[in-house]
Amino acid sequence: MKPIAILRFASADGPAYFADFLNEAGRPFIEVRIDQGQAVPAAANEFAGLGLMGGPMSVNDPLPWIPAALSLIRDAVAKDIPVIGHCLGGQLISKALGGTVNRNPNGKEIGWHRLHMLDPMLAEEWLGSAGDFDAFHWHGETFTLPEGARWLARSDRCDHQAFVLGPHIGMQFHIEMNESAIADWCAGGEKEIVSARKNPDNHPGVMAADVIQAITPVALPRMRAAAGHLYQRWLRHVRI
């Protein structure tokens, strides 16, 4: 069985529940740690699927691994190897397929914010329900939809939260989060949160860390259910 390749771009942005789900499903995966200097794989055909995690950088930064990551995504799509992107990963998919990534017009979006489903049938298929729910966010940029993509969800602060293109899905939000990752981000990102909340352009898109932590026990179970359904749906086309 070929492994799924998970590209990690920052040590704090690991696969979290995505890895837990794959382990429980018995699907092998390898974690390519770009943040530790590991090279982006040259081709996608040695993998059953391609997962892309988040990171604090921009896809528009002149980082040496970004062109290679974009090339790998295009190779996977051309070969019908399913790709899934979380936040930065979703932005990479968009850019690789002809979209653009720029500053979010409504500023940063940090914390728990409501996702609004735009295509009920598509939401039922990928998320298990057509209903809106609160998802976890931590971003300042946003992507446009690649040509041919179906628009899945938006939030009040950011129009393009998710798109589906055949077996591929790109998300602006962090559906992979678990309790410990959220706690770590709130602790490690406290300065960013405090600074962002002083900028009126970001209000009310940036929640205080203690508010995020208080909401987590209530919001995380619903997002976890959606994540489990989404990952199972994505696996349907992942190669054996």
Task: Work out the average pLDDT over 91-112.
Answer: 97
200 pLDDT band, cuts 50/70/90, is confident
pLDDT at 202 over 90: no
Q: What is the pLDDT of residue 190?
A: 96
The pLDDT of residue 128: 96
Does residue 203 surpass a pLDDT of 90?
no
Count of CB atoms situated within 10 Å of the CB of 124: 14
Give me the domains of the chain, ranges plus CATH numbers: 4-178+216-235 (3.40.50.880)
Confidence band, pLDDT 50/70/90 cuts, at residue 240: confident
CA distance 240 to 235: 10
Going by pLDDT thresholds of 50, 70 and 90, the confidence category of residue 69 is very high
Q: Find the mean pLDDT for residues 169-182.
A: 98
Kindly tell me the burial class for residue 239, based on how many C-beta atoms sit within 10 Å of its own C-beta (0-12, 13-18, 19 or more). middle
Write down the mean pLDDT value for the chain. Answer: 97
On the question of pLDDT at 47 being above 80, the answer is yes
pTM beyond 0.95? yes
